[in-house]
Amino acid sequence: MPAPATVTLRPRGAARLRAGHPWVYRSDLASTGGAAPGALVRVADSRGKLLGSALYSSSSEIAIRLLTSRALAGPGDLLDLLRRRLQAALEYRRRVVRDADACRLVFSEADGLPGLIVDRYSEILSLQALTQGMDQPAVKEAVVAVLVEALTPASVVERVEPRIRELEKLPPRPGGPLHGELTRTVISMNGVRFHYDALGGQKTGLFLDQRENYAAAAQLARGEALDVCCYQGGFALHLARAGCKVTGVDSSRPALEMAEQNAALNSLPEMEWIEGNAFDLLKDYAAAGRRYDTIVLDPPPFARSKSTLATALRGYKELNLRALKMLRSGGLLVTCSCSFHVSAGDFLEMLSSAARDAHRSLRLVEQRTQAKDHPTVPSIPETSYLKCLIALVSD
């Protein structure tokens, strides 16, 4: 069997790998060595010194995703490595996940499995292969085999993101079961139950990265609560279960319909669900003099690239400014950002500026991030993206 092709890097790419980041951009390649799309390759610096083994993409700007600093001999070594990494990822979740039968089992680079996402929703596993390398049939088959043997799920369902497949120049295809047939179930997070559809909704179905933040918010929430960008009711249902009178707002009618079904599933008191744009609704509510004891802001990412950072921060500030004006003294603000390009420092400074403009005082109770099943690797800043600030507001 021929050895994997060798991709040679320019100095900047080699320095990036030596610093601990597994990505090399296409502009930092000196030679691809004739590597095929999605192939296992060896990576070397300009002097020919081995830097490790990686998966190669022929189309993505991220051309190299390093797997290991060792030299892998071929597909057999690759599959053995992936199996070991999968087992380690599952063991890590056994240690850190509590009070939930839904969690992230594999978080791509954070688990040494670049381009692979696996989430558990009770007896259903949801899988995403986001790169040419992870989309190889032999790789997916090996991944599914490990998952089925370790967890005996009713089904493993592949989620397909058409935009990602287009970027990776992978042929379009629908998602669907890779093992078993079940695609719908009910899951539990922190004692709150949710309907789950493996082929519907955003991401892989629910926002599992907020699971621990849902519980933290519910511990402090009180009174009349407004959940802005509530999606299928993650924060809203936790607040209602804690005794709050909750209004949930989202721009998606299907998401609100599912939130209403989730409320019924938990036998919660009647909740108000409003379809609307967050900016417009907060402006109207503030003008009408509405006041709340708890407000949650959990918008979609405003900064999808570094070039949109300034615009994103203005958007976050506008939402937070209006929310701060609508909170009663002693009220609770839970404000979130899932934009990687907005740093924790940027987000905190934005909130401080909004509080000054709103003439409100803040006491920061907690600075939180994503749940532990979405681990952060210090040398890979992209693995840390979610910010959640919980603050008490006074006059």
DSSP-assigned letters across all residues of 191-213: TEEEEEETTSSSTTSS-GGGHHH
Please state, in angstroms and rounded to a whole number, the distance separating the CA atoms of residues 51 and 60: 21
> Catalytic residue at 230?
no
Whether pLDDT at 120 is above 70 = yes
Phi-psi region of 113 (alpha: psi -120 to 50; beta: other; left: phi over 0): beta
Homologous superfamily of the 207-394 domain (CATH): Vaccinia Virus protein VP39 (3.40.50.150)
Q: Do residues 376 and 384 make contact, with C-beta atoms less than 8 angstroms apart?
A: yes
Per DSSP, 332 falls in state: E
Domain ranges, ordered by start, for the chain? 6-73, 76-186, 207-394
- Give me the chain's average pLDDT, please: 95
210: nearest Cα among 79, 112, 81, 300? 300
Model confidence over 139-170: pLDDT tens digits? 999 999 999 999 999 999 999 988 889 989 99
User: Percent of the chain having pLDDT more than 70?
Assistant: 98
In the block, tokens 């100095």 appear at 11
225: nearest Cα among 354, 327, 90, 314? 327
Q: Do residues 35 and 5 make contact, with C-beta atoms less than 8 angstroms apart?
A: yes
Q: Check residue 3 and give its pLDDT.
A: 87
Helix, strand, coil % in the chain, rounded to nearest 5: 35, 30, 35
Whether pLDDT at 21 is above 60 = yes
Q: Which CATH number fits domain 6-73: 2.130.10.10, 1.10.287.470, 2.30.130.10, 2.60.40.730?
A: 2.30.130.10
Tokens representing residue 276 in the block = 């609307």
| 301: confidence class by pLDDT, cuts 50, 70, 90 | confident
Whether pLDDT at 205 is above 70 = no
374: nearest Cα among 335, 334, 340? 340
**Options 244, 336, 338, 388, the catalytic residue:** 338
Q: Would you state the CATH architecture of domain 76-186?
A: 2-Layer Sandwich (3.30)
Q: How distant, in Å, are the alpha carbons of 11, 216, 237, 248, 267 from that of 255?
A: 48, 23, 13, 11, 19
